[in-house]
Amino acid sequence: MLITAYPSVLSSFFKGTLDTTGVAYSVAVVDDYAYVADANSGLQIIDITDPSAPFLKGTFDTTGLAYGVAVAGNYAYIADATSGLQIIDITNPSAPSLKGTFDTIFALNVAVVGNYAYVVDITSGLQIIDITNPAVPSLKGTLNTGPALGVTVVGNYAYVAGNGLEIIDVTDPAAPSLAGRFDTSGNAYGVAVAGNYAYVADYGSGLQIIDITDPRAPFLQGTLDTTGNAYSVAVAGNYAYVADTTSGLQIIDITDPAAPILKNTFDTTGAALGLAVVGKYVYIADENSGLQIIENNTVPTSADKTITINPDSLYIFQPNDFAFNDPDSGDRLQEVKIITLPELEFFLDGDDNGTLDSGEAISLGQVVTLDKLSQLKFKTDITARGDNFASFQFKISDGKDYSASPNNFTINITTQTNLSFKLVKPSSSTVYELGVFTVDDAEGKIGNIAPGATGYTEAALKRAKAVFSAIANIPNGFNTNLATLQEFNSGDSLRFFLVRNNSINGVLTGQTSFSDVIFSSAANFEVEPSKNQVFSLNFQDLVVEIQPTNQELPLGIGLQGQQEAELLDLRDVTQQVKAEFVVNREAVFNNFVGFYRVTDENGGIDINGDRTADILVGQAGYTEAAVRERVAGIDLTVNNQGTATYIGTLEPDSLFAPFIIANGRPDAILDSNRNNDPAVYFPFLGANTDKVDHIRLLGNNTFGFEDLTSGGDNDYNDVIVRLNLTT
């Protein structure tokens, strides 16, 4: 009997059992119940809601020997040997009751389609019983095929196992007629039909596959001799499941019906006589062992994976790194087994400190469970470079089986170049922001937008990074010998631009025109190569030297250069950071600069310690929260044209933003008098009352502040803070 489709089977294992009191010959499964024809114990109704713990729900002791069972609607139809067909009302599974009977000579099996029960009888062949009124079943038609042991009905034909395979035309149930016959080599006990093939359990001859495309002329398509005696058969998907008596369950791949292949076996404790396949479970009527429930498991598959990471970085693996593919409902990734190892730092970071400690190195064949997967890490040093830098093989598991073949995990290291930008000749009167962006071809296109085309400037600024701002009026004591380091991928095509008297932020937010953006061109820009790979960018008003360097990037600059990202990014740092603050001033106002922790680059503030934003940029109370949550002890002030140095400590795994209180102190913000509040400005334009950029990046970890509303004189020298960070 064809029950349901199951896509693929590579392994089977025991799920649950219930030992019935009789001899289990046949089983039918509908919804949450298995109905077992249990010979001298009649019908057994078993609750299989939890297949691992089936239990008896109800029973009805028929008067004969229950050999076959079919279920349709509210009734179970029992082939009950000398008691013929027994119709049992199963509306209440706990209390099944007899509804009607029809006496055949010796009923062995039954199939139900529509208003008819098709009963096969050991002596009288096929009996077609009208069950329109289950209380009063009546004989509709009969055909004496000789001994008949199994039956299934598909379309206008009943397929009877007995004297080989008999194909009966039941178009007119009152006058069934023999359409065709195939004499199998053994004794046909059971039959299932799928598509153009009948699958016959042929006892000592195993599985016989018969082509029934023309029911009048069936012929043998393929055969597989099982090790036991094939008693019954079910088909689901590309597999035939054979109840093979003492050889238990045989699972046969019938993808090619001409060449069936034994795929798997499961040895039940008794003798497998009947079976039903529903979803991923096989329910076996196992003679003296009752009902056996076997789970089929599709072995999961994964896929090769390639990642690209930076030198001197820590990669934390996640479940989606190990692509999990499994059609079985409810199956999920449970384990990853490491089959081969990379040569470098590959470890299970039990203490989550980001370093390989004693006992944490991954070993060959190590299993990493799902709950520990986020502890699986790979660490590179500053010298790591190139594709195929490291690789390992892995298998995945659904908790039952591992993938059949290992997959490859390849780790590429970005071939990155650090460039040093040094201001050689600052502008005498104009504040410029120098920016850099990547282009997609030698022509300088961004996507399909060519230089000079509509939208090009905006597209360039959206992918640009600020290198630094070059200010004109330098405070006394400020060290202008700044080299700004930035990281690029080898092969990147770079273009440069200046923003005159404004910033990238200001242009993108509409505070100034796109015409204030000056792109490098032959008219205004020269590249002057010199020795030692040093290039001089001459913007006429501004000269910058650029050269590759092996210098490590300073701590904290990970986000700097992005829009509204004058921030200190210490999220990858695992220990406290010592910070030296060098402060200069060229301003009448006596300003105050501090730093506060933000939850992410959007500027949210956590006020209750759960590391999630409680107050967002632009919300009421943001200014007070920032000042209140500022880093204690980092209270930066300096006399006009003076220099002051402060030492402080910054916490690891944190992101810090600067702020300036214009001509004021924190007490004025935190007291109850709102009327004396000085202006406070942040890197986030939405937090500034004038929505103007008041903080510029002058170099790595070097910030210039403007203390006047609406940008004032835009000189960004009112306070300059330069940080030196070390761990």
Q: Which pLDDT band holds residue 9 (cuts at 50, 70, 90)?
A: very low
Instruction: Please tell me the distance from the alpha carbon of residue 135 to that of residue 130, in angstroms, as a whole number.
Output: 11
Burial class of residue 181, CB neighbours in 10 A (0-12, 13-18, 19+): middle
- Read off the pLDDT band of 531 (50, 70, 90): low
Q: What is the mean pLDDT of residues 156-162?
A: 97
Instruction: Report the alpha-carbon angle 28-34-38, nearest 5.
Output: 75
Q: Which of 373, 356, 723, 414 is nearest to 574 (CA)?
A: 356
Pairing mode of beta strands 719-726, 577-585: antiparallel
Q: Is the predicted pLDDT of residue 280 greater than 90, yes or no?
A: no
263-267: long-range contacts at Cβ-Cβ below 8 A with a sequence spacing of 24 or more? 263/9, 263/10, 263/239, 264/9, 264/10, 264/11, 264/12, 266/12, 266/13, 266/14, 266/294
Residue 255 token pair: 């993808």
Q: Which residue has the higher pLDDT, 535 or 579?
A: 579
Over residues 16-52, the pLDDT tens digits come to: 999 999 999 999 999 999 999 999 999 999 999 999 9
Structure tokens, 214: 């023309």
Give per-residue pLDDT as tens, 110-146: 999 999 999 999 988 999 999 999 999 999 999 999 8
Q: Is the pLDDT of residue 89 over 80?
A: yes
Locate tokens 């000079």: which residue? Answer: 452
Question: Which residues make Cβ contacts (< 8 Å) with residue 571, sequence separation at least 6?
Answer: 558, 653, 654, 655
Cα 97 to Cα 112: distance, rounded to the nearest angstrom: 19
Residue 282 CB: number of other CB atoms within 10 A?
30
3-state secondary structure 153-177: EECCEEEEEECEEEEEECCCCCCCE
Considering only CA atoms, which of 722, 674, 714 is closest in space to residue 690?
714
Tell me the per-residue pLDDT of 570-598, one tens digit each, with 9 for 90 and over. Answer: 998 989 999 999 999 999 999 999 999 99
Q: Which sign does the torsion angle of CA 669, 673, 678, 681 carry? A: positive
Rounded Cα–Cα distance for residues 292 and 330 (Å): 22
Name the phi and psi angles at 488, rounded to 5: -135, 155
Closest by CA to 539, choosing from 484, 467, 475, is: 467
Count the residues in the chain: 727
Q: What is the per-residue pLDDT across 215-252, written as a single tens digit (0 to 9) for each?
A: 999 999 999 999 999 999 999 989 999 999 999 999 99
What pLDDT does 424 receive? 80
**Whole-number mean pLDDT of the chain?**
91
Higher pLDDT, 248 or 487: 248
**Mean pLDDT, residues 180-194 taken together:** 96
Q: What percentage of the chain has pLDDT greater than the value 90?
A: 70
Q: What is the CA radius of gyration of the chain?
A: 40
Structure tokens at 367: 């299993």
Q: Which residue has 């992101």 as its token pair?
A: 655
Give the tokens for residue 181: 């016959």
Number of H helices, E strands in the chain: 4, 54
pLDDT per residue as tens digits for the range 650-704: 999 999 999 999 999 999 999 988 888 999 999 999 999 999 999 999 999 999 9
CA 652 from centroid of its chain's CA atoms: 30
Contact predicate 422/482, CB 8 Å: yes
Sheet of 274-278, strand order: 11-18, 291-297, 281-285, 274-278
Most confident of 5-9, 543-547, 582-586, 674-678: 582-586
Q: Domains in the chain, ordered, with CATH?
A: 25-233 (2.130.10.10), 305-413 (2.60.40), 416-549 (no CATH), 568-726 (no CATH)
Spell out the residues 6+ positions from residue 129 whose beta carbon is closer than 8 angstroms to its own: 85, 102, 116, 117, 118, 119, 137, 138, 139, 140
431: left (phi over 0), alpha (psi -120 to 50) or beta: beta
Under 8 Å between Cβ of 46 and 59? no
Pairing of strands 85-89, 75-79: antiparallel
pLDDT tens digits along 606-630: 999 888 999 999 999 999 999 999 9
pLDDT for 319-357, tens place per residue? Answer: 999 999 988 888 899 999 999 998 777 777 777 887 777
The answer to whether the CB of 13 falls within 8 A of the CB of 32 is no
Structure confidence at residue 533 as a pLDDT band (50, 70, 90):
low
**What are the backbone angles phi and psi of residue 479, rounded to the nearest 5°?**
-80, 110
Residue 532 in this model has a pLDDT that exceeds 70: no
DSSP 615-671: B-TTSTTHHHHHHHTBPTT--B---TT-EEEEEEEE-SS-EEEEEEETT--HHHHHS
Averaged pLDDT for residues 355-375: 88
Separation of CA 569 from chain center: 29
CA distances from 592 to 216, 634, 668, 713 (A): 99, 10, 12, 19
Question: Which amino acid would we find at residue 79?
Answer: A
**How far does the chain reach from its first CA to its final CA, in angstroms?**
72
- The reply to whether the predicted model has a pTM over 0.95 is no
CA 586 from centre of chain: 55
Nearest in space to 619 (alpha carbons), one of 608, 630, 603: 603
**Degrees to nearest 5, angle at CA 718 with 712 and 720:** 135
Which DSSP category does 358 fall into?
T
Q: Identify which has the larger pLDDT, 705 or 469.
A: 705
Q: What pLDDT sits at residue 5?
A: 37
Q: What is the mean pLDDT of residues 159-181?
A: 97
Higher per-residue confidence, 405 vs 350: 405
Q: What is the pLDDT of residue 630?
A: 96
CA pair distance 486, 86, nearest whole angstrom: 85
Q: What percent of the chain has pLDDT over 70?
A: 96
